[in-house]
């Protein structure tokens, strides 16, 4: 990620509660640094169901977003992410 992209993400702290909601209201809040990416995918109609910003003390070592769909939905998710300047390092099916 470039320093410009990091600076852009620092300006959007509200996405993690806007998408995830407050505990007890609409669901669990999202990790702050993954919330924007989840919002981008959801706004494009991609049904996400799990995410983690990654790092020490988190479920995943790297930022991760899980979503449902076919093989082509994965390709669409990559295209949407790249169109919004989000880094994509790997796409996995399981």
Record the tokens describing residue 49, joined without a space: 């169901």
**pLDDT, tens digit (0-9, with 9 covering 90-100), for 16-38:** 666 666 555 656 677 877 888 99
Expressed as residue numbers, the domain containing 61 is 3-83
**pLDDT, tens digit (0-9, with 9 covering 90-100), for 63-81:** 999 998 889 999 999 999 9
Residue 91 lies in a domain: no
Residue 94 lies in a domain: no
Number of Cβ within a 10 Å radius of residue 51: 23
Residue 17 lies in a domain: yes
Residue 79 lies in a domain: yes
pLDDT over 70 for what percent of the chain?
72
């Amino acid at each position: 990620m470039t320093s410009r992209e990091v600076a852009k993400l620092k300006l959007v702290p509200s996405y993690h509660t806007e998408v995830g909601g407050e505990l007890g209201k609409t669901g669990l809040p999202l990790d702050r640094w993954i919330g924007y990416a989840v919002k981008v995918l959801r706004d494009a109609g991609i049904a996400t169901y799990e995410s983690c910003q990654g790092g020490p003390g988190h479920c995943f070592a790297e930022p991760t977003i899980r979503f449902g769909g076919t093989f082509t939905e994965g390709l669409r998710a990559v295209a949407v992410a790249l169109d919004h300047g989000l880094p994509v390092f790997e796409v996995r099916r399981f």
